[in-house]
Amino acid sequence: MGFRHSEETKTKMSLASKGKPKSPEHKEALRLAAIKKYQNGFVCYVKKKWKENPNFLRGENNGNWKGNISEQAVKHRMRGGLLWKKWRESIFERDNYRCLDCGKGGYLEPHHIIPLRVNMKKSFDINNGITLCRPCHKKTVGKELELARTYFSLIQVQA
């Protein structure tokens, strides 16, 4: 079971969520404003645009567009697979289970030197991976291509 609120608390929460009681005049003003907005405002604009082009709010035209989700889904599925686990383990073993950036242990993460968004073909290439601790891995976000030469040289020293 969970925590149960008292009846008094339930009443207070209900009143707080409902707001102050509205007078009939206020309700009528709100109704008229909604009608006016519907007739003259954004709703009519959307209807007009929709008739011209039914896809105007779909895909990249939508304000909530986050890019190609299918690519993200592929990466997500890939990370749970056997090849991913073997790639990760082989990188950790090669780097002696320590961060090659700062030299510490702790929570280690595998890092793709050439990001997957640039080249998916190098997903499981052992020479495209490096072991980093979480703080060092967070520092690489957005700077992957700038740090690539440095990380490739660190791997060459390891070998």
**pLDDT tops 90 at residue 86:** yes
Buried b / exposed e along 26-43 (16+ C-beta atoms within 10 A)? eeeeeeeeeeeeeeeeee
Per-residue confidence band for 42, with pLDDT thresholds at 50, 70 and 90: low
CA-based diameter of the chain, in Å? 80
Which of 14 and 9 is assigned the larger pLDDT? 9
Say which residue the tokens 């740090």 belong to: 147
The pLDDT score that the predictor gives to residue 102 is 87
Residue % of the chain over a pLDDT of 90: 14
Which of 51-55, 108-112, 127-131 bottoms out in mean pLDDT, i.e. has the lowest? 51-55
Predicted TM-score of the model (pTM):
0.53
Strand stretches in 7-149, DSSP E: 108-112, 129-133
Strand stretches in 6-143, DSSP E: 108-112, 129-133
